[in-house]
Amino acid sequence: MDVKTAIEQRHSVRKFKSTPVPVEVLRELVRRAGLAPSVNNAQPWQFIAVTNKSLIGKMAGIVHEKIHKVFEKTGKDNVMKTVEHFSTIFENAPALIVVANTPYKAIADAALNHDDINAMRQHPDIQSIGAAIENILLSAVDLGYGGCWLSGLLVAQKELEELLDIQAPAELAAAVAVGEPEGQPKSRDKKSIDEIFTLIE
Ligand SMILES: Cc1cc2nc3c(=O)[nH]c(=O)nc-3n(C[C@H](O)[C@H](O)[C@H](O)COP(=O)(O)O)c2cc1C
C-alpha cells in the first residue's frame, strides 16, 4: 500500500473483531514505530504489547474506577460517561501497544538545563513519540488492521505504570489499541486545505 492510501484510509478504530493480532504483526508495527524521526535520534520510547485479555480488562477496570473518582465531585455525569467511554475503548481490543516515554539527551544539554530545553522546544520527546505512534497507525492500515491512539487512559497513569512495571524515569505516555476493524470506522470531518495552509513567499 502506498503512503497516500494509508494516510487517506486511516481512521480511528474503536470497535474490533476478537481475532487475535499475531505477535509478528505487533513486532512489525513496533519495528516501524522505531524508524520514526526523534529528537537527536534519541528514540525516547519503549513499547509494551499487551494481548493478555485479563490484563487488558484489569487496565480498563483501573481507568473506569479512576474516572469515577476524578469526576465524582463535579456532578457532570454526562461528561463523565463520554470521557469514560473514550478512555476505555481498548477494553475490547485484542491488542494494546502501550508507549512509554524514556529519557533523552539533546545536543543543547551540554550547555543548557534539560527542563528549560524541554519547555523551550515544546517537549521534543513527546513530539517524537507522536511520530512513532503515527507510524503504528499507518502501518496497521497497511497490514489490514486498525488502531486508535489513546491518551484518555493516562487519567490512571501512576496506577497503570505500577501494574505494567513501567519504572521511573520511564513514564506511560500513550497507548494504541490495535485489531481487525469491526465494521467501517467513522470518517471524521477534516479542515480544508485552505483553512490550515498559509504560504509565505
Ligand atoms: C494525542 C491523541 C490522543 C487521543 N486520545 C484518544 C482517547 O483517549 N480515546 C479515543 O477514543 N480516541 C483518542 N484519540 C483519537 C482521536 O479522537 C481521533 O484521532 C480524532 O477524533 C480524529 O479521528 P480520526 O483519527 O478518525 O481521524 C486521540 C488522538 C490523539 C492524536
Question: Measured between alpha carbons, how far is 129 from 122 in angstroms, rounded to an integer?
Answer: 13
**Beta carbons of 115 and 71 less than 8 angstroms apart:** no
What integer pLDDT is reported at residue 73 of this predicted model? 87
Ligand 1 atom nearest to CA at 187: 26
Domain 3-196 indexed as CATH 3.20.20.70: no
Whether the pTM exceeds 0.75: the reply is yes
Q: What is the DSSP string of the chain?
A: --HHHHHHH--B---B-SPPPPHHHHHHHHHHHTTS--GGG---EEEEEE--HHHHHHHHHHHHHHHHHHHGGG--HHHHHHHHHHHSGGGG-SEEEEEEE-----GGGGTS-HHHHHHHTT-HHHHHHHHHHHHHHHHHHHTT-EEEEE-GGGGGHHHHHHHHT--TT-EEEEEEEEE-BSSPPPPPP---HHHH-----
For ligand 1, the distance from its centroid to the CA atom of residue 117, given in whole angstroms, is 28
For ligand 1, the distance from its centroid to the CA atom of residue 73, given in whole angstroms, is 26
For ligand 1, the distance from its centroid to the CA atom of residue 131, given in whole angstroms, is 14
Q: What is the pLDDT along the chain (201 residues), one digit of tens a residue?
A: 999 999 999 999 999 999 999 999 999 999 999 999 999 999 999 999 999 999 999 999 999 999 999 999 899 999 999 999 999 999 999 999 999 999 999 899 999 999 999 999 999 999 999 999 999 999 999 999 999 999 999 999 999 999 999 999 999 999 999 999 999 999 999 999 999 999 999
**Beta carbons of 147 and 177 less than 8 angstroms apart:** yes
- What separation in angstroms does the CA of 143 have from each of 12, 13, 15, 42, 181? 15, 14, 17, 27, 12
Which residue's C-alpha comes closest to atom 29 of ligand 1? 149
Mutate to test the pocket of ligand 1, among 63, 150, 160, 176 (most ligand atoms within 8 A of CB): 150
For ligand 1, the distance from its centroid to the CA atom of residue 113, given in whole angstroms, is 33
